Amino acid sequence: MIGNNVEEFSFEAYKKAGEDRALRLENRGPFRRTRDGLLDPTILENYWKYGFYVLENVFGEEELSDLEQDINSILNRLPTNSNSKFDKEGRLALAANCKAKNLYWSRPLGDPWGGSSFGQGRHQAKMEEPKPKEGSPDEIVFLILGSLQFSDACLRAYGHPDLLELSAAVNGEDFVPYTDGLFIKAPGLGASVAWHQDGITHWDSPNWHQGSHGFNLMGQVYGCTAANGVWVIPGSHKIGKVDIKNKIANAGTIYFPDAVPMICNPGDVVISNRQLLHGSFANTSENWRVTVNMGCLPKSSVLGVSGGGIVSEKTIYDEAHIAKRSLPIAYAIDARRKRFPEETPFIYKPLAHKNILWNQEARDSMHDYSLLDISI
């Protein structure tokens, strides 16, 4: 437990050791191209080696300001509690008119998923739940799904040409989205996320490979530290399904000695393989972490596959479903083109033959788009 001075010092030592290990890995730097204009292959090499890569300074000050403004607006529009449809000013709250489940709640510093059936039971063991300070709220929102419909800045971030180029390099030019969200780790309140691997459908497939379940793109608005960031086991995306309970039993602790934290500055974006064993501890620090979470999957892992059941209804993903759920990528590219006209927009091959524009009609069509989320 984290409570008395000895244990607090122990946790501090663990964080420091993990940070030192993380910064020694060869998996961080700016987005780079070769002289031919292609993605620097060393980025991909080290992504596949470790299962994650920290792309530095992807979002500049102007974009970070846009994101922060939208995030503050979102936080101010949250319901007063999980049973309310109204915010603190009496307005209809964020997502109150959505059919999808967009808001996920927890006790402050709690672990709402560990040891539960959520995510088909992939969060096998509970994290520690420190006692929050007196006067803390009874519950907090720690995850907002379907975030692109609530924030133009988040939508534009999704359309970043470097990130989409990376997506195509890893998952193929016909890559598809799966779900988008905001992970919110408020200071002294943010919930933990128990150790888990994201993939569900392909572990036993004869065609399984280290990229079968795609990746997350994790944009950091305020940066992240060993105290409030995601921790991962480097290379665990290659070894198949991990018996987490057994790993905890062997280690004698949830603080795995082979784990490292994602250390980022504001504007950094982490590409993180969904098959990595990863989790995060309750945020007892004084620093915010807000992660703009986006993700992409190989179409070969999706087409004709029966998926869903976590963030969307179970269904078989056919061409029509994939094409409809992929529209936000095209909307994001056009929204970004309008906001940052000096950039060269990414060309998303599956929809390049269509003239898809970001306008009021497109905005209206984004309502409840997460009902079509693709989860494998």
What pLDDT, in 10s, does the model give residues 217-241? 999 999 999 999 999 999 999 999 9
* Residue 242, both tokens: 């991990």
What are residue 297's DSSP bridge partners? 176
What's the CA gap between 50 and 359, in Å, rounded? Answer: 40
pLDDT band at 357 (very low <50, low <70, confident <90, very high): very high
Residue 121 has pLDDT above 90, yes or no: no
Q: Provide the percentage of residues in the chain whose pLDDT is more than 90.
A: 91
Q: Report, as an integer, the average pLDDT of 282-311.
A: 93
Between strands 289-297 and 215-220, the pairing is: antiparallel
Could you tell me the end-to-end alpha-carbon distance of the chain, in angstroms, rounded to an integer?
35
Give every CB contact of residue 331 below 8 A, 6+ residues apart in sequence: 155, 159, 356, 358, 362, 366
What's the CA gap between 323 and 341, in Å, rounded? Answer: 26
pLDDT value, residue 232 = 98
Q: Report, as an integer, the average pLDDT of 314-333.
A: 96
- Average pLDDT of the chain is 95
Residue 256 has pLDDT above 80, yes or no: yes
Neighbours of 1 (CB within 10 A): 10
Q: Report, as an integer, the average pLDDT of 343-351.
A: 97
Coarse DSSP helix, strand, coil percentages of the chain, rounded to the nearest 5 percent: 30, 20, 50
What residue has token string 């109150």? 96
Residue 215 has pLDDT above 50, yes or no: yes
pLDDT value, residue 2 = 39
Residue 33 has pLDDT above 80, yes or no: yes
pLDDT value, residue 276 = 98
Give the tens place of pLDDT for each residue, 268-280: 999 999 999 999 9
Give every CB contact of residue 40 below 8 A, 6+ residues apart in sequence: 32, 33, 34
* Residue 230, both tokens: 């995601």
pLDDT band at 16 (very low <50, low <70, confident <90, very high): very high
Q: Which amino acid is at 142?
A: F
pLDDT value, residue 6 = 39
Q: Give the CA distances from residue 344 to residues 44, 338, 347, in Å, rounded to whole numbers and listed in that order.
A: 22, 11, 9
Q: Which amino acid is at 359?
A: N
pLDDT value, residue 5 = 42
pLDDT value, residue 308 = 75
pLDDT band at 3 (very low <50, low <70, confident <90, very high): very low
Q: What are phi and psi of 333, to 5 degrees?
A: -65, -45
Domain boundaries, the chain: 5-372
What residue has token string 């510093």? 109
Architecture of domain 5-372: Sandwich (2.60)
Q: Is the pTM of this model over 0.85?
A: yes
Q: Provide the percentage of residues in the chain whose pLDDT is more than 70.
A: 98
Give the tens place of pLDDT for each residue, 51-82: 999 999 999 999 999 999 999 999 999 999 99
pLDDT value, residue 310 = 76
Q: Report, as an integer, the average pLDDT of 4-13.
A: 63
pLDDT band at 4 (very low <50, low <70, confident <90, very high): very low
What's the CA gap between 21 and 27, in Å, rounded? Answer: 12
Q: Report, as an integer, the average pLDDT of 188-213.
A: 95
